Structure 1
Amino acid sequence: MTTPPSPWPPGRIDEIVDRYQRPLLAYAARMNGGDWQGSQDAVQETFLRLCRERPEKIDARIAAWLFSVCRSRVIDMQRTARAMPIDVSQSPMPDPAPDAQTAAIDAEEHVHLDTLMDGLSPRQQEVLRLRMTGRLSYREIADVTGLSVSNVGFHLHEAVRSLRTALAH
């Protein structure tokens, strides 16, 4: 049985994977409590689903579509496995070759920021990750989470305000 030709232009899927693989992995890992295997599975399934979609249907909103599919897949996997709640204390993507001093400083800052993130509501954590890691617009975050654009703005504002207040102390 032969595989039907891809509806995507040659090289376009590779470009999308190159651009979005790391942010999707980071996002999925945070939602998965640092479970790399599950996160990789969710991202792989997201890209497989992308290959089956018609480009004209999603290309204009590719980032929001990818994060939405990935989010749904992680939630489905959590329901199936009865996974633990989001754990933001795990570092999803360590720098592959930092020097010892830089690594120590980065780790300390990352742990501090993760600790501060624990003080945010799960919704604030999610919209902040989508904005910072995924670089999604408010509209795209709204598409992914099902919130209104103004509600996304509210959650982002409150998350940043809370982090600033915590950092000031």
Structure 2
Amino acid sequence: MRRRVRDRDVGPTADEGLLRALYSEHGGPLLGYVLRLTGGDRTQAEDVVQETLLRAWKHPEALAGRPVRPWLFTVARNLVVDAHRAKQARPPETGIDEHVMMTASGSDDIDRALESWTVAEALAGLSPPHRAVLVETYYKGRSVAEAAKTLGIPPGTVKSRTYYALRALKLALEERGLAP
């Protein structure tokens, strides 16, 4: 993608590089997700992907310091919901079945997968002692005494680490837009 400026060839800009990188890394999964939301309407799905990437390009500050793919998927889902609402506000051009609206409203497996991915990312960002105590008590369902024995630390330490680990996890999730 080259353009001419005052009779000089100019290579791709940094913005174009960002856009190319976003499309290269996230374009395929994003298109697949939007295809499911739009009930297989490829034209609409491609338009939504293009608009999503355009918004990312216009607002690179929104991508800084956060996972990019969940943000892109959220923007795409919001665009699909907005398009559906706009069609509801005027006489229908073509019918959108109920499945599309149910999928677009968040009851989708992909939304749960993205949420799980974001929680796992937040959990990975915790300190190893905090992560270990949460894995033992919440994910493996162990009691305080069992976790203490497994981790080789006193039960009081398990309790205090769990308290501080949950606070740190809540903060990490809030930064990612998942917790209230």
TM-score between both structures, scaled by the size of structure 2: 0.46
TM-score between both structures, scaled by the size of structure 1: 0.49
Larger Rg: 2
